[in-house]
Amino acid sequence: MKVLVLNSGSSSIKYQFYDMKKSQVLAKGIVDKIGLAGSTLTHTRSDGDKVELEGEIVDHQAGIEFVLGVLVSKKHGSIKDLSEIDAVGHRVVHGGEYFQSSVILDDDSISKIEKCSQLAPLHNPPNLKGIYAMKEFLPDAPQTAIFDTAFHQTMPDYAYMYAIPYSLYKKYGLRRYGFHGTSHYYVSKTACEFLGVDYTKQRIITCHLGNGASITAIKNGKSIDTSMGLTPVEGMMMGTRSGDLDLGVLTYLIEKEELSVASANTLINKHSGLLGISGISSDMREVEKASDEGNERAKLALEVFYYRILKYIGSYTAVMGSVDIIVFTGGIGENSAKTRKSICERLAFIGLKFDEKINEKTRGKLECITDNDSPTKVLVVPTDEELVIANETMRLLA
């Protein structure tokens, strides 16, 4: 069984092609700068063959045609004919309150995803473009949708409600949904398998720290709270997003600086976070480097970043009554020993016994960074959202 996993974004399409029987990635790649000058397709096959193709990729349809073309090409391909693609799994960002789990796509589920576009206007429309194109090129292959929001649909109402008039929740579906669900699910499950403990009996806090960042409380295998909300801007401070912010700051700025809605949106999504405070970069490596060189604003950006992680861990520990496992993932969580150290050292009050030497050596691999007798275990787990999508597709089709 061969499954193509597609992550169709606004100007790029990422894909991975799996042979599920052999548990092998046959090929993966990215179509970049769709609709812009200099669009490219970078394709890597499992034997190391790598090719960068340039072409005029005017829209998602053209991008997907390009991907399918290279998959069957004699020189760089992995299959002889498109009929060898047994199924396509799509990453869909927002499933609203319609989807508690992944689905096999049909007209009804596609129309619900279309309705969710108003909640995620930047994400669902390009996800849908990928779905429409695949339906056209591979009409016989079943297609599935795996949602970023679905894992968090188990949150209780008191965790997802905003304290605004209830009528607005009913009218527009304004509530907290959360994102990165596939990642939080995968890394928490993987952590339990690694430790040999029952997933349905643990209290876990997963810290997905990448350019986008979110933290989730998982009790007995279910997400009960997560830091992102209606949109990904709530919660953790991120590369360029502000995270939690007094709404009064925004209304103040809208008035004083005469900001339009679009500019206010850009301010909190693109000019804030690590970039906003440090003034150097949204990239953690750059901010860490500047901080090491003595830059005060970079140091402050890091301190705010750590402080917020700590506050979320503290509040989620209270919410669950305790915490058995903390997981770090995402580019920063997997690679920044400095970030993990700053957090773990401040958690000594819950009895956590942190192994600094193992932490220092751990980069991008599955590892436990606490002592065997630490009551709370801390793990680094590389995330693999594409693999979850491929596995979910197999599960749905079985």
CA–CA distance, 362 with 380 (Å, rounded to integer):
8
**Candidates 86-94, 206-214, 229-237, 315-323 — which segment interacts with ligand ADP by CB under 6 A?**
206-214
Q: Which stretch binds ligand ADP (CB under 6 A): 12-20, 106-114, 219-227, 282-290?
A: 282-290
Asked whether position 273 contacts ligand ADP by CB under 6 A, the answer is no
Report CA-CA distances (Å) from 324 to 53, 358, 374. Answer: 48, 19, 10
171: tokens are 């009218």
Contact between 330 and ligand ADP by CB under 6 A: the answer reads: yes
Minimum distance between the CB of residue 284 and ligand ADP, rounded to whole angstroms?
A: 3
Q: Interface residues for ligand ADP in 207-236 (CB under 6 A)?
A: 210-212
The amino acid that residue 209 corresponds to is: L
| Binding residues for ligand ADP restricted to 17-76, rule: CB under 6 A | none
Helices H / strands E in the chain, number of each? 15, 14
- Nearest approach in angstroms of CB 30 to ligand ADP is 12
- In 3-state terms, what secondary structure has residue 135? helix
* Minimum distance, C-beta of residue 138 to ligand ADP, in the bound complex (Å): 27
Contact status: 285 vs ligand ADP (CB under 6 A):
yes
If the CB atoms of residues 84 and 283 are measured against ligand ADP, the closer one turns out to be: 283
335 lies in the binding site for ligand ADP (CB under 6 A): yes
The answer to whether the beta carbons of residues 323 and 316 sit under 8 Å apart is: yes
- Minimum CB distance to ligand ADP smaller for 236 or for 332: 332
Q: Tokens at residue 119, please?
A: 């909640």
What's the CA gap between 389 and 184, in Å, rounded?
13
Going by their DSSP bridges, the two strands 203-209 and 143-147 should be labelled as: unpaired
Annotated catalytic residue 148: yes
Residue 132 Cβ, how far from ligand ADP at the closest point, in Å? 25
382 binds ligand ADP (CB under 6 A): no
Q: How would you class 267 by CB atoms within 10 Å of its CB: exposed for 0-12, middle for 13-18, buried for 19 or more? A: buried
Shortest CB 364 distance to ligand ADP, Å: 8
CA-based nearest residue to 389, from 103, 36, 193? 103
Query: Which of 329, 326, 354, 328 lies closest to 341, judged by CA?
Result: 354
If one counts every other C-beta atom within 10 angstroms of the C-beta of residue 351, the result is 10
Measured CA to CA, the distance from residue 144 to residue 103 in angstroms comes to 6
The span of 17-25, 81-89, 161-169, 326-334 binding ligand ADP (CB under 6 A) equals 326-334
Nearest alpha-carbon partner for 344 in 381, 302, 306: 306
Q: Which of 331, 343, 354, 390 binds ligand ADP (CB under 6 A)?
A: 331
- Using CB under 6 A as the criterion, what x/- string covers residues 146-165 for binding ligand ADP? --------------------
Nearest approach, Cβ of residue 239 and ligand ADP (Å): 5
Query: Within 232-271, which residues bind ligand ADP (CB under 6 A)?
Result: 239
* Residue whose CB is nearest to ligand ADP in the complex, by number: 331
Q: With contact defined as beta carbons under 8 Å apart, do 170 and 292 qualify?
A: no
Asked whether 217 and 240 are in contact (CB, 8 A), the reply is: no
**361: contact with ligand ADP by CB under 6 A:** no
Measured between alpha carbons, how far apart are the two ends of the chain, in Å? 11
Q: HSE on the CB side for 84, CA within 13 Å?
A: 13
Considering the rule CB under 6 A, would residue 391 count as an interface residue with ligand ADP?
A: no
Closer CB to ligand ADP, 109 or 291, in the complex: 291
Binding of ligand ADP at residue 178 (CB under 6 A)?
no
Q: CB 277 → ligand ADP: shortest distance, Å? A: 14
Window of 102-110, 284-292, 306-314, 372-380 that interacts with ligand ADP by CB under 6 A: 284-292
Residues with Cβ within 8 Å of 171's Cβ and at least 6 positions away in sequence, in order, are none
- Residue 284 binds ligand ADP, judged by CB under 6 A: yes
Q: Which of 19, 32, 86, 148 is catalytic?
A: 148
Residue numbers of the site for ligand ADP (CB under 6 A)? 210-212, 239, 283-285, 288, 330-332, 335-336
Q: Which residues are catalytic?
A: 148
